[in-house]
Amino acid sequence: MSTIVAPSLLSANFLNLEKDIEMLNRSEADWIHLDIMDGVFVPNISFGFAVTNLLKKITNKTLDTHLMIVQPEKFINEVKETGSTYMNVHYETTTHLHRVVQEIRNHGMKPAVTLNPHTPVSLLEDIISDLDMVLLMSVNPGYGGQKFIMNTLKKVSQLKELILQRNSTALIEVDGGVNLETGKMLVDAGADVLVAGSFIFSSDNPEELIKELKAL
């Protein structure tokens, strides 16, 4: 299976967003990654549902929504309305994680759990079989263009081992500091999905970079 590439809309040009979406539609990108931030859980505020609800009208790409917010369970229905396939909630913000995972699935979406760089993979032992994906943050969430945290490679390997032990089918997604070099190391360690933002959107030839990431 080729690597799944999910460009992060956080790094797109919001003065000409439709143009960037058209580029993604032409490209070999598999998904579009949507980072929604609240300025509370993370020190930044991004776009909201007024933007994400429009995307399903102009793209057929799989939408992967990542809620970097407190109380993400309040917005399950809103994420469903965006047409998202995946809904990512942070382990660190979700008190009743099993309940939220079940609610996401009951709304017809695939549940995913995100771990910050300091959060150990072992905390997912009792929930991994209920998940469709785990997102490992390889930077501290809140801003694009940060440096890759190398310890993420160890976490990917640990997570892969846990998935195999529990006969889980969960995908491993990684977000933060992804480029061709770090992407290759992540895929070799067991990652299935690479999220890349500034690396793609700041390029003179983003479609070619997406193609190269998929080939890793």
Count of structural domains, the chain: 1
The CB-based long-range contact list for 88-91 (8 Å cut-off, 24+ gap) reads 88/64, 88/112, 88/113, 88/114, 88/133, 88/135, 89/113, 89/114, 90/41, 90/114, 90/115, 90/116, 91/115, 91/116, 91/119, 91/123, 91/124
Q: Which residues contact 208 (CB under 8 A, 6 or more apart)?
A: none
| pLDDT, position 146 | 77
Q: Which two tokens stand for residue 179?
A: 């480029």
Q: Are 75 and 105 in contact (CB under 8 A)?
A: no
| Containing structural domain, residue 27 | 4-214
pTM score above 0.85 = yes
Mean pLDDT of the chain: 96
| Active site (catalytic) residues | 35, 175
Q: What is the CATH number of the domain that holds 128?
A: 3.20.20.70
What is the DSSP pairing of strand 110-115 with strand 133-137?
A: parallel
| Each residue's pLDDT tens digit, 114-138 | 999 999 999 999 999 999 999 999 9
pLDDT of residue 81: 97
Query: pLDDT tens digits, residue range 150-209?
Result: 999 999 999 999 999 999 999 999 999 999 999 999 999 999 999 999 999 999 999 999
